[in-house]
């Protein structure tokens, strides 16, 4: 049985990775459902399967490969999670977000977080992208619960404006220049794995959510606590409108996510080329 504290686990994982990789990444990227092939743009790759990293569980969600990849995009050093951990997989919020803590230890200044989502705004459509400008945490858990990790951040971190305005504006400019439709809006996070009921969908819309998903918010809270700047983009893979008469299958949503890889590659490679810290 593992009796180490979460901070001890973070440090052991950090040391293990440093023994394998000598680069100091500036940018961390979490690839959501169906975006695993984004890694084709990473140069000078070093791949570490999650299965080889201490304390990490296996990924079970469809479209999540389970690798940590180091390399360069547009001559900037990156660390990329090719797949993430979800609460609905039975993983604790501390472990589900542990690699964000490791990113901080390794030197990451910016987290680019991506995910699949359901559209709640009737002006959106499946197959479109949304720049997340804020979130509502309805997962009923918080990864910062428990002993505060003082080496990372304060006991009571402020969650106003955790989605970086400067980087968001840059991404919107790049999207406009390249004719990529990019909405802006609020993401509501639920634990899953059930999709929402009609009443829940209506409620989420009424409280100001534009899209809904089962990831993202936990990692963002940990990044904010660790003073990592955040940029987040969600793929709208289905419309979750309460009056809808159909719901796409998981296979159909995965295909929509994969169809957006070209847009993600164009957006993020041009963003990374221009980003300055």
Q: How confident is the model at residue 2 (pLDDT cuts 50, 70, 90)?
A: low
Beta-carbon count within 10 A of 206 CB: 10
Among candidate residues 220, 264, 190, the one with its CA nearest the CA of residue 36: 264
CB burial of residue 140 (10 Å; 0-12, 13-18, 19+): exposed
Q: What is the pLDDT of residues 28-76, one digit of tens each?
A: 999 988 787 889 999 999 999 999 999 998 777 766 688 999 999 999 9
CA 67 to chain centre: 15
Burial 169-199 (b: 16+ CB within 10 A, else e): ebbbebbeeeebebbebbbbbbbbeebbeee
**pLDDT score at 113:** 98
**pLDDT score at 62:** 65
Give the global pTM: 0.94
Query: Quick one: average pLDDT of 4-31?
Result: 95
Q: What is the pLDDT of residues 211-231, one digit of tens each?
A: 999 999 999 999 999 999 999
**pLDDT score at 148:** 97
**pLDDT score at 146:** 95
């Amino acid at each position: 049985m593992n009796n180490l504290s979460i901070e001890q686990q973070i440090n052991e994982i950090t040391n293990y990775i440093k023994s394998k990789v000598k680069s100091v990444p500036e940018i961390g990227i979490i690839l959501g459902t169906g975006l695993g092939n984004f890694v084709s743009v990473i140069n000078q790759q070093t791949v570490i399967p999650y299965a080889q990293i201490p304390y990490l569980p296996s990924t079970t969600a469809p479209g999540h490969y389970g690798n940590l990849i180091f390399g360069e995009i547009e001559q900037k050093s990156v660390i990329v999670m090719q797949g993430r951990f979800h609460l609905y997989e039975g993983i604790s919020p501390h472990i589900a977000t542990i690699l964000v803590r490791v990113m901080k230890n390794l030197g990451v200044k910016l987290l680019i977080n991506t995910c699949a989502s359901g559209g709640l705004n009737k002006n959106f459509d499946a197959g479109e992208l949304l720049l997340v400008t804020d979130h509502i945490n309805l997962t009923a858990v918080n990864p910062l619960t428990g002993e505060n990790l003082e080496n990372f951040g304060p006991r009571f971190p402020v969650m106003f404006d955790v989605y970086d305005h400067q980087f968001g504006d840059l991404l919107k400019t790049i999207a406009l220049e390249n004719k990529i439709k990019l909405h802006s809006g609020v993401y509501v996070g639920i634990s899953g794995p059930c999709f929402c009921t009609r009443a829940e969908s209506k409620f989420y819309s009424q409280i100001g959510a534009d899209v809904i998903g089962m990831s993202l918010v936990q990692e963002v809270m940990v990044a904010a606590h660790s003073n990592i700047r955040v940029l987040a983009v969600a793929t709208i893979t289905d419309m979750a409108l309460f009056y809808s008469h159909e719901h796409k299958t998981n296979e159909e949503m995965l295909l929509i996510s994969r169809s957006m890889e070209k847009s993600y590659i164009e957006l993020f490679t041009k963003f990374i080329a221009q980003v300055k810290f």
